[in-house]
Structure 1
């Protein structure tokens, strides 16, 4: 007989591969029943809606602050515009005053020129100091000497008056120039003040525009969060409707039915405030597996509050069972009714996983665990302890996995 070593090696490798694959595919974790898992989904959506609502309220507070800030900036802009209007009015008044001073200076200069012309004409015609010929002519042209003196005094008086007027004109002209210089300086200050006000106004407007941008962005975020809250709330309501429909149907089949024997029964519903380790989930919500394990442990004679002992130390933060400290649990395996019947006939209860019509994403598609009672097989019918209570029933086709407990 010739032995094919290569064939044996391949078979061993295949066996090792299948063993490793089974370890990966069959994780040792608890799977919630349909109602509990749906409840978890509903709570997740409710939490999402709550977070969206809280964030929306926080953003609404930010939006109120931004509106208040914009209102303040708008008031500052109005104040800046009012100050600018006053400055522009002062600039206009100053310009008018400067133009008026220019006009007055021009008028005074013209009057001064006229007075100069008048005085020069008089002096040239009637009185020239140091010109003896003119003096002699004035004397001979007069009827007497007193007339000459009188005329001379008159011209002298006219000259003095003209000189006085010229001095006054020069003084007034000087004053007008001083006023104009003062107004020119005032105009320069007003122009600089106006530029500063414009710069301040532009800065405030930029701040307002930025606040407006933030407000628009915040408002959009609020709308998105409100829509997110609405969607999550709607999802939670849809799941609650599904829970209500499932809960309204207590019996999915008649081959596995609830037993009235309560001597070693535990209900997960007895523990609404007992959390699964550090997770936010309670035994009442997702404790079908540990309640089933507790029933088996109690059946074998352990009488302390087993669910509390398991829940306190055996779960991770996501609510999955890490290990069982109360029984020797081989983990989930594909359902084998021959093995189940042997166990029951030998007086050993068997935990089985049931699929309730919703794929929960685990290896077997189960969403609830129950305990088949020893010696309860009668053909294709069995009795069970259901952690969700009496009055329920399942078909054999719904059972997808088993857990052999010692």
Structure 2
């Protein structure tokens, strides 16, 4: 079923599972203003996926953000990010951003990052009386404590917390990607806070999954023999754990995809170890291919607000190995089928036990997540739509008088 918006655009009024979409969704005109490079990292891909899923149901939705190749019309200045030259900070041409927003005529603005682009989005929303949504993606305090001494990390965390608190007080609504971020936003007196799920790119669900390649052993069992890591090559991702496992298990194959400050270390290890392959930075389509060529995805990260690639791996019916602090582990319907690295355990130790399990035993666990991904994705899109309607105040009677909405992680 379809309907027409006031601009004449045809939008869907029903989701693939038959669920009716609130009619007011067709009135949403959403601008996302972000400092994260489009498609480059977790935040940069998150909004591409969200836009893909919301576009059929809303009047308009668009992303204003730095591109992978510098656009001089949009960016006044671009410098490497401190501590990670593989990413960059961009200073926008304010007039360009304002003109883009004028053409979009949004009735809701989403700001997912801290930086010059996001500040322009916030200022535009305030000047024009447009409802503003802040999304809390990353715990910078945890990163500061990881990379710097207490003497440096303490003041930086304090200053950033002050800035975050100010930002959330400017917002009409705040999105948290896990329960910890929800508690943080609640303590900072945000007006309307909700925990929201992360959608998975449609291609990962649409394309038929392929059989795992495996490496057949003498006993005929395959189990987990090929693993892949996809993400930023940095200390908080514990990329070194993959290198350690490759050294310990020469009969298994390990692949690492991504870019970041640890790239030289990964490249050096790949040259030294015949069973370790460095794939470089991959496009989304290439990530799909890398997952299909593996038995399991490994995310040994110390800090992972959600772990979108884990959801993508589930959609491809691959085993997923994560730490319990990974954000995706907080969602009951999909966490039951994950394989966990305990806090006092190295990935290599956990891998040793998993590689001895046969396919049937592994599938009994992993199937719980595989079978839930599509329902989780549909639920996530549904909840995002209603939240955005509430935040834009298009359906006032839906927003109850309380300042905060209880966490919904029931799926």
User: Normalised by the size of structure 2, how large is the TM-score?
Assistant: 0.21
Larger radius of gyration: 1
Structure with the bigger RCO (C-alpha within 8 Å, sep 6+) is 1
User: Normalised by the size of structure 1, how large is the TM-score?
Assistant: 0.21
Flag the structure with higher strand content.
Answer: 2
Flag the structure with higher helix content.
Answer: 1
